[in-house]
Chain A
Amino acid sequence: MSTATLRSGTSARPRRAAPGARTAAATIIAVACLLVAGCGSKPAPSASLPAAPAPPPLTTSFAAAGGASWAVVEMGGSAAQDDNFWQVFVRPAATGGWRQMTPHGVADNGGLVVASPGSGSLVAAFRPSQLLTYTPLAASTDNGASWSSAGPLNASLASAADALAAGPNGQLMALTSGGTKAELGQRLGTTWTRLATVSSLNATPPGRACQVTGLTAAAFSGSTPMVAASCGRPGVAGIFADTAGTWHAAGPSVSGDTVDVLALAASGSGLVTLLRATSRTSASIIGAWYSGGRWTLSSPLRIGAGKLGSTALGPGGSIGVTWNAVKGATLAGPGKAWQTLPALPNRASTLALGSQVEVIVANGQTFRDYQLASGGWSLTQTLHVQIPYGSSG
């Protein structure tokens, strides 16, 4: 490289620039700096919008009076890595231990939803995950001891503990498409027809009164299909019954906040439901029972901004709920007060109400059942579950 000597301005006499040129140069510099500084800057955050209510958790349990109980529990590892595997545990009678009765044949990383028409019959739905986009079903007539394939449901089941309902004579009802549609199935899901959508409900008088924003639970009252929803209008619990093709409002009035339905089930000759009433800053849980033509509501259980863990429906219309990982409360039935539970054991997964109040703890491949006794939790059962880690990858 040759040596260079610098002689500035020797090649030509510099021209006197017009004053405007200096101004222009300064402007260009300033604009360029601002543009460069703006490049790649993160955009200002948009104004925060009210969050939609979180969907009801899939971890749930159900117990019939003097009959079997079943519980849905998430076990294994990370859901993000498809190493979580949902399990069904069944206790065939009021006394006795839990048994793992998970149906086989489908990867259940997306979650399991169980419904029961009673008398030892169960229907389980495998929520799709990864590249599976529709919902396989399995049916049992012996409390989960053996399963056979049913369905399929050619849609993705919504993420809610009561997204599937089982009625008499092989009738099924399923909430699909993120809780925007309800399908009615015959012969254990061999055929399906559209029952309702959020739009079609909002076109009805009871729907307009609620301003349905999403479907959250399904149930049969006898052979009458019922759907529950989140309402945009405060003070309305969105429960609807389909009578001869016409939807009727069937829910209680709840003063004040917006309400969404977390659980809905037949209880004896009536209904039991779990409601979440949400204000700007907090939420409350309300139990409600329908019997003899009227609704009975419990007092609200304030859970603040708590994240729900599990819901439970037990014999005699008993209700339970857990939130914020360690908190729980139960209602023995209509007219009773909320009973706060002691701090839940670490990694508590599912609350179960049978003859006792129980909490199921799931840690990897270990299932532990704790019963409430003498103001504390007592370990009563431990099971080792062979989790097929890595099989869904």
Chain B
Amino acid sequence: MNSGLNDNNPTLVAAFRAALLHQGIYVLLIFAILAVAWVSAREWLRPARAARFVTPEPAWRQLLRVGFGVIWIFDGLLQAQPAMAAGLPSQVIEPTASSSPAWVQHVVNWAGTTWSYHPIQAGASAVWIQLGIGVWLIAAPRGFWSRLAGLASVAWGLVVWVFGEAFGGILAPGLTWLFGAPGAALFYCAAGALIALPERTWRSARLGRAVLSVLGLFFIGMAVLQAWPGRGFWQGTVHGQQGTLTGMVSSMASTPQPAFLEAWVRSFASFTAAHGFAVNLFAVIALAAIGAGLLSAGLPEVGLRAPAPWLLKATVIAMVVLCLADWVLIEDLGFFGGLGTDPNSMIPMALVVVAGYLALSPAPAVVTEPAVVTEPARPEPAAAAAEPAAAAAAGSGSATAEPDPVPRRGWQAQPARLARSFGAASTGAVVAVWAVAIVLLGAAPMALAQTNRNASPIIAQAIDGDSAPMDSKAPAFTLTDQNGKQVSLASLRGKVVLLTFLDPVCTSDCPQIAQEFKGTDQVLGARARNVELVAIVANPLYRSTAYTRAFDAEQRLTKVPNWLYLTGSLAQLQQAWKNYAIAAEIVPSGGMIAHNDVAYVIDSAGYTRNELDFDPGPGTASSESSFSVELTNAAERFVRS
């Protein structure tokens, strides 16, 4: 699934940074346009806003909205680390799914492959989508657009949970709350779902009881899992080897991070190695107690007496302390190492629990927001506690009455009314619109890239650099094709020739290059009838047509009509190698013939126009596709359509 490139490949890093900068300019431009339009609308149209009755946003919702807004923004900034574009599939996505069942790996591999085919678009997309969702959550405090922000958080959280966290690892062995089960992204989804709830749910404590009860069940389940024998958590060391928890903590300590933090984590690893039983016992008891405490919040729902207030408060405090301790000592804050994507699960989990606790308090009473009058009052229809006006892009709608001086026309609203509504929008609403634009700016390029099943040529350029333009007459040759027929370069005049040199008994590079040439033929499509794919044997010992045919059969090239695999006498081949700067040297003691990997583009008049370094590198699906696209792009300029 991965491109096989080094995470910090300079070409990819530079392209990633350039893409972010480029898109960042668009982000600022959109902000500027929105700001100017908004200020202009307010100044020229002087829209009025009547008094409104609003239900203040309860504390729990504000906590979730702002808290997760900040976390999404932080995650977006983490996603902008230089190694993300190349490194995420192979260093994060693939290892996360490695212990999961095959079908999970299949699902995750699809996403990883998609990312590796378009690493720059995918990396930038993740940055802007997450930044946009974060800003959106913070900027839209209430109403339809605020709830939509919550749903956006659910949607993207699900994407991350499935493809980035392999379903939170819940299907892999070794599942434990201590390592972040059931996946941080699931709490982003939960928070988003709570934010998306309609305002009528704010007024009842049942929501808080439900949240805490569900989390209570979850903690109890985690306690049972932690206590389950045979999973390696009860031993700090096993036969001299690190136990499960000790091993995980030790590996986290090896991540590049500040020295003081590393010291803490290593100390905890040592402590766990020496006292594994006690550590796990503490974890089991703590999880069970917290779970029971949280579950007790739901007792009134089943007709039992509610727990004492101090008990629930103490439970929540204990949970927060436990989460913080785990976050520092076990999860190691989660975002170090250059490829950390988020601060892991403890902070999101704690936020949801605290929000559930706060939700036990009744919502504040309805208050009145004063009117904003900037022009003489006009007769207006009676205010109705109806849905917000059609120009809900303002994001200011609520369960209030907002007089609309112009009869509603739905989709037929006049531009002036739209402008007036836009001008009447609050600052937060405008910022929310901007945030939506940021999300779309992130999502659109990746969605477009998805429609292209070929990989970006940036991967090939990252492996071998750019092609070298040339303009010299291509040296002639007359050789024998795989069917025994004589072929000369002159006989191919009128077509673009893509030329390379392949060893028919090669075990590594040459089969990959052959597939890249075959891929080029597919990318060219109908234009391939004007292109000839030509390979010349690059092995002084194994050069008979029996071997060129064997190679063609092995590489499924026998049915490619414009494929030629040429050979000849040793003298003929040596002359061709010399003319095209090919080295083909015998390596003793069982080595493969050593030869350079190169491709030439020869135009229809017989002039060499491009030389490409064609070392296939890691030979992954994405790199193969990328080389095919690179070769196609190099050839297309000379192909008559």
B partners with A = yes
- B-contacting residues of A (Cβ < 8 Å)? 1-2, 4-11, 14-17, 21-22, 25, 28-29, 32-37, 39-42, 75, 82, 85-87, 100, 102, 104-109, 112, 126, 128-134, 136, 147-149, 151-152, 154, 190, 385-388, 391-393
Bound-state Cα–Cα, A198 to B222, Å: 53
| Pairs across A and B, CB under 8 Å, 11 listed | A2-B59, A14-B301, A17-B302, A39-B225, A40-B169, A75-B589, A86-B590, A106-B505, A107-B591, A149-B542, A386-B588
* Minimum CB–CB distance for B1 against chain A, Å: 19
**Given pairs A107-B507, A149-B547, A152-B505, 9 additional interface contacts (CB within 8 A):** A11-B362, A17-B301, A17-B304, A29-B295, A37-B221, A39-B175, A39-B225, A100-B589, A128-B507
Residue of A nearest to B514 (CB): A131
Which residues of chain B come closer than 8 Å to A41, judged between CB atoms? 173, 228, 231
Digitize B209-225: 1 where CB-to-A-CB distance is under 8 Å, 0 elsewhere: 00000000100111011
Which residues of chain A come closer than 8 Å to B222, judged between CB atoms? 36
Q: Name the residue in B170, B205, B357 with the highest tally of chain A Cβ atoms < 10 Å from its Cβ.
A: B205
* Minimum CB–CB distance for A109 against chain B, Å: 7
Q: A1-B59, A388-B590 are in contact. Are A133 and B554 (CB under 8 A)?
A: yes
Bound-state Cα–Cα, A149 to B508, Å: 20
Q: By the criterion CB–CB under 8 Å, are A14 and B309 in contact?
A: no
Which residues of chain B come closer than 8 Å to A151, judged between CB atoms? 546
Q: By the criterion CB–CB under 8 Å, are B307 and A8 in contact?
A: yes
Partner of B589, one of A15, A28, A154, A388: A388
Q: By the criterion CB–CB under 8 Å, are B507 and A109 in contact?
A: yes
Bound-state Cα–Cα, A6 to B317, Å: 14
Q: By the criterion CB–CB under 8 Å, are B361 and A5 in contact?
A: yes
The residues in B between 335 and 372 inclusive whose CB is less than 8 angstroms from any CB of A are 357-358, 360-362
**Which 6 pairs, one residue from A and one from B, show the smallest C-beta to C-beta distance?**
A388-B591, A8-B306, A105-B541, A17-B303, A85-B590, A36-B221
Q: By the criterion CB–CB under 8 Å, are B589 and A102 in contact?
A: yes
Q: By the criterion CB–CB under 8 Å, are A392 and B591 in contact?
A: yes
Q: By the criterion CB–CB under 8 Å, are B507 and A387 in contact?
A: no
* Minimum CB–CB distance for B291 against chain A, Å: 10
Which residues of chain B come closer than 8 Å to A8, judged between CB atoms? 297, 300, 306-307, 309, 312, 360
Q: By the criterion CB–CB under 8 Å, are A392 and B300 in contact?
A: no
Interface SS of chain A: loop
Q: By the criterion CB–CB under 8 Å, are B224 and A37 in contact?
A: yes
Bound-state Cα–Cα, A17 to B302, Å: 5
Digitize B286-319: 1 where CB-to-A-CB distance is under 8 Å, 0 elsewhere: 0000000001010011111111010011000000
Q: By the criterion CB–CB under 8 Å, are A16 and B588 in contact?
A: no
Partner of A15, one of B174, B303, B550: B303
Which residues of chain B come closer than 8 Å to A85, judged between CB atoms? 589-591
Which residues of chain A come closer than 8 Å to B306, judged between CB atoms? 8-9, 14
Q: By the criterion CB–CB under 8 Å, are A132 and B217 in contact?
A: no
Which residues of chain B come closer than 8 Å to A112, judged between CB atoms? 590
Bound-state Cα–Cα, A16 to B305, Å: 10
Q: By the criterion CB–CB under 8 Å, are B542 and A105 in contact?
A: yes
Residue of A nearest to B550 (CB): A152
Which residues of chain A come closer than 8 Å to B554, judged between CB atoms? 132-134
Which residues of chain B come closer than 8 Å to A104, judged between CB atoms? 541, 586-588
Q: Does B511 contact A (CB under 8 A)?
A: yes
Bound-state Cα–Cα, A85 to B541, Å: 19
Q: By the criterion CB–CB under 8 Å, are A40 and B175 in contact?
A: yes
Residue of A nearest to B354 (CB): A1
Which residues of chain A come closer than 8 Å to B506, judged between CB atoms? 107, 131-132
Which residues of chain B come closer than 8 Å to A1, judged between CB atoms? 59, 62-63, 358
Q: By the criterion CB–CB under 8 Å, are B591 and A11 in contact?
A: no
Q: A4-B361, A11-B205, A134-B550 are in contact. Are A33 and B589 (CB under 8 A)?
A: no
Q: By the criterion CB–CB under 8 Å, are B505 and A385 in contact?
A: no
Q: By the criterion CB–CB under 8 Å, are A132 and B590 in contact?
A: no
Which residues of chain A come closer than 8 Å to B592, judged between CB atoms? 106-107, 391-392
Q: By the criterion CB–CB under 8 Å, are B174 and A22 in contact?
A: no
Bound-state Cα–Cα, A183 to B22, Å: 62
Q: Does B490 contact A (CB under 8 A)?
A: no
Which residues of chain A come closer than 8 Å to B307, judged between CB atoms? 8
Residue of A nearest to B359 (CB): A4
* Minimum CB–CB distance for B99 against chain A, Å: 8
- How many residues on the B side are at the interface (Cβ–Cβ under 8 A)? 65
* Minimum CB–CB distance for A277 against chain B, Å: 35
Residue of A nearest to B302 (CB): A17
Which residues of chain B come closer than 8 Å to A36, judged between CB atoms? 175, 221-222, 224-225
Q: By the criterion CB–CB under 8 Å, are B312 and A105 in contact?
A: no
Which residues of chain A come closer than 8 Å to B228, judged between CB atoms? 37, 41
Which residues of chain A come closer than 8 Å to B586, judged between CB atoms? 104-105
Residue of B nearest to A5 (CB): B361
Bound-state Cα–Cα, A32 to B554, Å: 53
Digitize B44-84: 1 where CB-to-A-CB distance is under 8 Å, 0 elsewhere: 00000000000000011011000000000000000000000
Q: By the criterion CB–CB under 8 Å, are B312 and A6 in contact?
A: yes
Which residues of chain B come closer than 8 Å to A136, judged between CB atoms? 505, 542, 547
Q: By the criterion CB–CB under 8 Å, are A386 and B589 in contact?
A: yes
Digitize B489-520: 1 where CB-to-A-CB distance is under 8 Å, 0 elsewhere: 00000000000000001111001100000000
* Minimum CB–CB distance for A117 against chain B, Å: 21
Q: A39-B170, A107-B507, A131-B512 are in contact. Are A4 and B591 (CB under 8 A)?
A: no
Bound-state Cα–Cα, A18 to B439, Å: 48
Which residues of chain B come closer than 8 Å to A393, judged between CB atoms? 508
Which residues of chain A come closer than 8 Å to B37, judged between CB atoms? none
Q: By the criterion CB–CB under 8 Å, are A6 and B360 in contact?
A: yes
Partner of A14, one of B231, B303, B591: B303
The residues in B between 146 and 203 inclusive whose CB is less than 8 angstroms from any CB of A are 169-175
Which residues of chain A come closer than 8 Å to B309, judged between CB atoms? 6-8
Residue of B nearest to A133 (CB): B554
Bound-state Cα–Cα, A33 to B288, Å: 11
Residue of B nearest to A386 (CB): B589
Which residues of chain A come closer than 8 Å to B63, judged between CB atoms? 1
Bound-state Cα–Cα, A39 to B506, Å: 46
Bound-state Cα–Cα, A388 to B541, Å: 18
Q: By the criterion CB–CB under 8 Å, are A40 and B300 in contact?
A: no
Partner of B542, one of A9, A42, A106: A106
Which residues of chain B come closer than 8 Å to A108, judged between CB atoms? 590
Partner of A105, one of B59, B204, B297, B505: B505
Which residues of chain B come closer than 8 Å to A5, judged between CB atoms? 361
Which residues of chain A come closer than 8 Å to B360, judged between CB atoms? 4, 6, 8
* Minimum CB–CB distance for B193 against chain A, Å: 19
Q: A6-B313, A149-B541 are in contact. Are A11 and B204 (CB under 8 A)?
A: yes
Bound-state Cα–Cα, A28 to B295, Å: 13
* Minimum CB–CB distance for A197 against chain B, Å: 20
Which residues of chain A come closer than 8 Å to B302, judged between CB atoms? 17, 21-22, 25
Which residues of chain A come closer than 8 Å to B313, judged between CB atoms? 6
Q: By the criterion CB–CB under 8 Å, are B508 and A392 in contact?
A: yes
Which residues of chain A come closer than 8 Å to B303, judged between CB atoms? 14-17, 21
Q: By the criterion CB–CB under 8 Å, are A132 and B505 in contact?
A: yes
Q: Does B593 contact A (CB under 8 A)?
A: yes
Q: Name the residue in A34, A41, A109 with the highest tally of chain B Cβ atoms < 10 Å from its Cβ.
A: A41
Q: Does B470 contact A (CB under 8 A)?
A: no
Which residues of chain A come closer than 8 Å to B508, judged between CB atoms? 130-131, 392-393
Q: A29-B217, A36-B222 are in contact. Are A6 and B505 (CB under 8 A)?
A: no
Bound-state Cα–Cα, A14 to B172, Å: 41
The residues in B between 525 and 541 inclusive whose CB is less than 8 angstroms from any CB of A are 539-541
Q: Does B383 contact A (CB under 8 A)?
A: no
Q: By the criterion CB–CB under 8 Å, are A6 and B361 in contact?
A: yes
Partner of A7, one of B305, B361, B590: B361
Q: Does B321 contact A (CB under 8 A)?
A: no
Partner of A40, one of B60, B172, B362, B590: B172
Residue of B nearest to A129 (CB): B507
* Minimum CB–CB distance for A41 against chain B, Å: 7
* Minimum CB–CB distance for B528 against chain A, Å: 24
Bound-state Cα–Cα, A162 to B300, Å: 79
Bound-state Cα–Cα, A357 to B590, Å: 27
Q: By the criterion CB–CB under 8 Å, are B589 and A126 in contact?
A: no
* Minimum CB–CB distance for A42 against chain B, Å: 5
